[in-house]
Amino acid sequence: MAVSADPLPSRVADRQIGTSTDTRRQEEGELTDQVRVVIVGAGPAGLVLGNILRARGVDTLVLERNSREYVQNRARAGFLGVHSVRVLTEHGLAGGLLRAGRSHGTCVFRTGEGELTLYYGQLGRGESHVVYPQQDLVTDLVASYLDRGGELRFGVAVTDVDPATGTVRYRDSFGAGEVTGRFVAGCDGGHGVTRQAVPGRPATRDHGVSWLAVLAAAPQSMAAVTYALHDRGFAGHMARGPQVTRYYLQVQADDEPSAWTEERIWTALGERMRVGEYWPLRTGPVTERRIVHLRSAVASRLQHGRLFLAGDAASLISPSAAKGANLAIMAAEVLARGITDVLTRDDERVLAAYSRTCLPRIWRAQEFSHWMIELLHAPAGDDPDIGFRRSLRRARLDSLRDSRAHQDFFAENYVGI
């Protein structure tokens, strides 16, 4: 469905001045109490949405709990699929990514029986990832959003949303305030407040697996994404930048990151990656370590009244298949189209179908991610049930090795949504 090329007239002049009694907040720059679209959260979902809407002249306000420095330095995703690259390119948001991103189309499964290398960029639809650190993408998106005249407030924590009226209540360093949007986008991540305003219990799963996510100031050790399957637990290796590499180590759920000293990290990585049989890791200072519990949660619906959920707020997904940021960008694009259609042409069809459009894709990604979790983690022990699961994992890898059809299916799901 085409969207009118005519940008909406800016509504800045029409805005009512906030009714807050706190004049200091107004002196900082008036925070108006009527906005067309209030976006909660300046992550990939909120910023892609804000950018597309601003390019179409829609009046937007992004409220972000953390500081600009914090969001621009928060290292998370790195692997963007073709769909995300297309969306970012089409909307003029891919400058940095096309300049500094690196194409990546190979992954390796390393086990006690050897390596299985999949050139997934040449399988399936022949699509590769682009590796571009999420914090660099967020930095680009903040800059372009401000260039497009978008309003963005850091250090503003939304406390609750009324989906019926579009009222968003928040707290900032001046106290409490509220703003009303014709539409409210809940882009506040997996632990935000907006999803609580949508009725219905999300479908959840605790995958029972925890990772120590490590960032090392070191070049990548291998040419490909490497998944090492080992009786002591999974270990992963993923490129991020020329001097930054992400590693994962499966750990106990109650492990403290501080208990993982640099020496312990490199020893465990070396053992699980079986470096003795291959080549040594290129070590460097560990710049970040945090525990990530592999959990999923999918909202039963993504819309309630004026509130629409996007990104991790709609669907929290484990990082096992690198899908979260990609789903966030997908949902932001659909939502931007729906909102623009309503504002420019009074056409509600895309917006009315928002949940129906996004949920099947979210579930496909969850299904693949769950498949990856089962593939990467085999529990230790002699229990017959555990032995059964280990043998299933081997059968899965055998199938991936032997069946071109299975490889094509893997490649399509790995890169696509």
Q: Enumerate binding residues for ligand RFL (CB under 6 A).
A: 40-46, 63-66, 71, 76-79, 134, 157-158, 187-189, 192-193, 213, 292, 311-313, 319, 322-326, 328
CB of 301 to ligand RFL, least distance (A): 17
Query: Looking up tokens 């199938």, which residue turns up?
Result: 399
**Least distance (Å) between residue 190 CB and ligand RFL:** 6
Nearer to ligand RFL, 75 or 123 (CB): 75
Of 33 and 64, nearer to ligand RFL (C-beta) is: 64
Cα within 13 Å of Cα(110), Cβ side: 23
CA angle, residues 339, 58, 130, in degrees to nearest 5: 75
- 397: exposed, middle or buried (C-beta count within 10 Å: 0-12, 13-18, 19+)? middle
At its nearest, how many Å lie between ligand RFL and the CB of residue 195? 10
CB of 150 to ligand RFL, least distance (A): 15
What is the side-by-side order of every strand in the sheet holding 79-80?
A: 79-80, 129-131, 102-104
Nearest to 181 by CA among 165, 194, 196, 193: 165
The length of the chain, given as a count of residues? 417
Least Cβ distance, residue 394 to ligand RFL (angstroms): 26
Smallest CA-to-CA distance from 318 within 239, 236, 397, 243 is with 236
Q: Find the shortest distance in angstroms from Cβ 4 to ligand RFL.
A: 27
Cα 112 vs. chain centroid, distance in angstroms?
A: 32
Which structure tokens are listed for 35? 């906005």
Closest CA to 63 of 195, 221, 170: 170
Q: Whole-number minimum distance, CB 292 to ligand RFL, in Å?
A: 5
In the complex, what is the shortest distance from the CB of residue 181 to ligand RFL, in angstroms, rounded to a whole number?
Answer: 14
Residue 46 CB, shortest distance to ligand RFL, in Å, is 6
Which residue from 364, 114, 331 is spatially nearest to 229, judged by alpha carbons? 114
Tell me whether residue 240 or residue 304 sits nearer to ligand RFL (CB atom). Answer: 240
Largest CA distance in the chain: 71
Nearer to ligand RFL, 76 or 230 (CB): 76
CB of 121 or CB of 192, closer to ligand RFL = 192
90-111 burial, b for 16+ CB within 10 Å, e for fewer?
ebebbebbeeebeebbbbbbbb
The residue (of 222 and 322) whose beta carbon lies closer to ligand RFL is 322
Strand order across the 244-251 sheet: 114-118, 107-111, 225-228, 235-241, 244-251, 203-216, 286-298, 315-316
> DSSP character for 275?
G
Q: Which is nearer to ligand RFL, 28 or 348 (CB)?
A: 28
Q: Which is nearer to ligand RFL, 18 or 311 (CB)?
A: 311
- Residue that is written with structure tokens 């720059």 in the block: 29
Min dist. Cβ of residue 263 to ligand RFL (A): 22
For residues 57 and 186, which CB has a smaller minimum distance to ligand RFL in the complex?
186
Considering beta carbons, is residue 33 or 312 the nearer one to ligand RFL?
A: 312
Identify which of 77, 142, 130, 83 has the alpha carbon closest to the alpha carbon of residue 292.
77
C-alpha–C-alpha distance, residues 79 and 220, integer Å = 15
